[in-house]
Copies of this chain bind each other. A is one copy, B any other.
Amino acid sequence: MFEITGAASVRLHGKRKVGIMNSDDKKITIKDVARLSGLSKGTVDRVVHNRGEVSETSRIKINEVIEKLGYKPNLYASLLASKKRYTLVCLIPRFGQGEYWELVRGGIQRAIDKAAAYNIDIITVQYEQFDAASFRKACDETLAADPAAVMLAPIYHDLTIALTTELSRRGVPFVYIDSKLDTTSYMAYYGMPMFQSGILGGSLLMESATQGEAIANFRIDRGEALPQDNPTLSRRAGFMEFIGAHHPSTTVLNEFIKPYDPLHNIRVLDAFFDRHPEVKRIITFNSRVHLIAEYIEKRSLNGIALVGYDMLAKNIDAVRNGQVKYLITQRTETQVYRSINAIIAHLIMKREPAAKDNYMSMDILTKYNADYYFDIFEI
């Protein structure tokens, strides 16, 4: 802890003014280390980047001096002098407009400039979300790019294992976003705690619910195309646990809709509400809550509490209109940006992420605060 003394600011040796203390004051260069250790800067440099050709005695001596002086290479000078270039591959699904993965792309987009400043080229490899062959091909392309690091969303379990195994063999670090495979040796993970997000959704949906109410969960019908690891499943599991613990007498009715078949959806929903006109609470665990909101609007249904996930533009609109009561979102762009940042820190500053698993906050959006979540990209 820093002590703030009586005076609002403190003066130290003449001109230097310090309130809350600054970090390192005097800059120690490689020359200082060289002089103190009686060797040349070339040798010091060899030790710093341990690229060999140094005798054991000199190595020890130099490391002592580095330790003593607290020498840290000047990043700017280093970047300026270095001609090394790195390639970072981001492996994500292809997306249509207004889909979740578009937000991920946004984060990548934001990071490109920053990465470029560190001699890192970001290339994005995309695949069809519901086509394993496409994912396999994308993995090949990823490896062919000879990346220095990889950021990926592990949609297909086995193929991801194959990819990450090869990456590990090559010593290439990789960072998961969105979900992760715990058995692989990933460098870091950035994502929403899916199970918890289901619990949160349950708690918001069931607010002042009465005993034995029937509620609805509308799900996406993917047919055969469902990839193996679907994070929304654990979200649903969290929700069901909450219901079981706090509302055991509640019935959860499941119904399936299709993302790209509006007519089909209207038929299904009409039939559903025909059978269950008493349902006043609806939740979706995928990112398509706006489809339900549109239906509710179309049929002018009243008094329905609708809870959903993910910050798609259409979802936000539905929140603003009051059709969606609570939208639970994560800061996807920030999440991606942070994951790329972790990679930069690893590659350039040789720093490991503070935490391996980084769970992003789950933001609750309502009609009254949604306006302030539009430009939430931080720094």
User: Which residues in A have some Cβ–Cβ distance to B below 8 Å?
Assistant: 4, 8-9, 16-20, 22-24, 74-77, 79-80, 87, 90, 94, 105, 108-109, 112-113, 116-117, 121-127, 137-138, 141, 145, 193, 196, 199-200, 203-204, 207-208, 331, 334, 337-338, 341, 355, 359-364, 366-369, 371-373, 375-376, 378-379
Which one of B94, B368, B376 lies within 8 Å of A199 (CB-CB)?
Answer: B368
Known: A105-B20, A112-B22, A112-B23. A8 touches B372 (CB 8 A): no
Q: CA A203 – CA B370 in complex, angstroms?
A: 13
Q: Which residues of B contact A362 (CB under 8 A)?
A: 369, 372
Say whether A125 contacts B359, CB under 8 Å: no
Say whether A20 contacts B334, CB under 8 Å: no
Bound complex: CA of A204 vs CA of B208, how far in Å? 13
Asked if A379 meets B337 with Cβ closer than 8 Å, knowing A9-B141, A364-B366, the reply is: yes
Residue pair B108, A20 in contact (C-beta under 8 Å): yes
In the complex, the chain B residue whose C-beta lies closest to that of A105 is B20
Closest residue of chain B to A21 (Cβ to Cβ) is: B112
Q: What are 22 contact pairs spanning A and B, CB under 8 A? A: A8-B127, A8-B138, A9-B124, A16-B121, A17-B87, A17-B121, A19-B90, A24-B116, A74-B80, A75-B117, A76-B76, A76-B80, A196-B369, A196-B371, A207-B207, A207-B208, A208-B208, A337-B379, A338-B378, A338-B379, A359-B372, A361-B373
Copies in the complex: 2
CA distance A375 to B9 in the complex (A): 29
Given contacts A9-B145, A24-B116, 11 further A-B contacts (CB under 8 A): A8-B125, A8-B127, A20-B124, A23-B113, A23-B116, A76-B77, A76-B80, A76-B117, A341-B379, A361-B372, A364-B364
Chain B nearest CB, measured from A240 CB (Å) = 15
CB contacts (< 8 Å) of A126 on chain B: these are 4, 8, 19
| CB of A369 to closest CB in B, whole Å | 5
Are A77 and B75 in contact, CB atoms less than 8 angstroms apart?
Answer: no
CA distance A379 to B379 in the complex (A): 7
Q: What chain B residues lie within 8 Å of A117 (beta carbons)?
A: 75-76
Q: Are A19 and B124 in touch, CB under 8 angstroms? A: yes
Instruction: Provide the bound-state CA to CA distance between A179 and B229, in Å.
Output: 46
Is there contact, CB below 8 Å, between A364 and B369? yes
Cβ-defined contact, A123 with B19, below 8 A: yes
Q: How far is the CA of A373 from the CA of B193 in the complex (A)?
A: 12
Cβ-closest chain B residue relative to A372? B361
Determine how close the nearest CB of chain B comes to the CB of A156; give it in whole angstroms: 15
Contact residues in B for A363 (Cβ distance below 8 Å) = 361, 363-364
Contact between chains at A123 and B80 (CB < 8 Å): no
Give A376 to B330 CA distance when docked, in angstroms.
Answer: 12
Chain B: minimal CB distance from A207 (Å)? 6
Chain B minimum-CB-distance residue to A371: B196
Partner of A77, one of B80, B141, B331, B334: B80
Nearest residue, chain B, Cβ from A358: B375
Instruction: Say whether B123 contacts A203, CB under 8 Å.
Output: no
> What residues of B have a CB within 8 angstroms of the CB of A94 in the complex?
4
Chain B residues lying within 8 Å of A17, measured Cβ to Cβ, are 87, 121, 123, 145
